[in-house]
């Protein structure tokens, strides 16, 4: 390898790492948007379930998530903000670990939010019993 090829390969590697970092940040921002929309919908779902359940107790996951609406909303906004900040940092292995952790946090928040939003409805459907065969 000549001395000219080494800097060129290093620049190509840096560009590739920047592209991968941008793709990861885009995924995180998309997941966080879903989390944010679900967090904003909690109050509407709470009203629907109050009418649907007619005084029955909410499932445990919904009872845990519904009072923490503002915390989930803040987390859903902080995750993409931190991810976007990494775009302006040099690509080092620590940044990719951070982006991986942010992706995991966004996915776990989405799972928890959607489980909480669907669990009361699914419980009510389960209580209706099996459908009779025609």
Does residue 2 lie within any of the structural domains?
Answer: no
Owner of token pair 């987390």 = 75
Does residue 32 lie within any of the structural domains?
Answer: yes
For the chain, give the mean pLDDT: 88
Does residue 3 lie within any of the structural domains?
Answer: no
Domain assignment of residue 50, given as a range: 11-120
Does residue 133 lie within any of the structural domains?
Answer: no
Give per-residue pLDDT as tens, 49-81: 888 888 888 889 999 999 999 999 999 999 999
Distances in Å between the Cα of 131 and the Cα atoms of 82, 115, 118 are: 48, 24, 20
The domain tally of the chain equals 1
Does residue 41 lie within any of the structural domains?
Answer: yes
Give pTM, 2 decimals.
0.81
Per-residue pLDDT, averaged over 36-48, amounts to 92
Does residue 129 lie within any of the structural domains?
Answer: no
Nearest to 35, CA basis, from 90, 83, 85: 83
Does residue 55 lie within any of the structural domains?
Answer: yes
């Amino acid at each position: 390898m000549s001395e000219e090829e080494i800097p060129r390969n290093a620049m190509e590697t840096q560009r590739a790492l920047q592209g991968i970092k941008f793709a990861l940040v885009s995924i995180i921002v998309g997941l966080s948007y879903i989390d944010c929309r679900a967090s904003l919908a909690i109050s509407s779902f709470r009203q629907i379930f109050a009418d649907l359940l007619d005084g029955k107790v909410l499932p445990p996951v919904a009872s845990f998530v519904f009072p923490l609406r503002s915390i989930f909303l803040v987390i859903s906004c902080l995750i993409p903000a931190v991810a976007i900040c990494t775009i302006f940092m040099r690509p080092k292995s620590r940044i990719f670990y951070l982006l991986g952790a942010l992706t995991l946090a966004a996915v776990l928040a989405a799972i928890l939010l959607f489980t909480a939003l669907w669990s009361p409805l699914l419980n009510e459907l389960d209580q209706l019993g099996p459908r009779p065969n025609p």
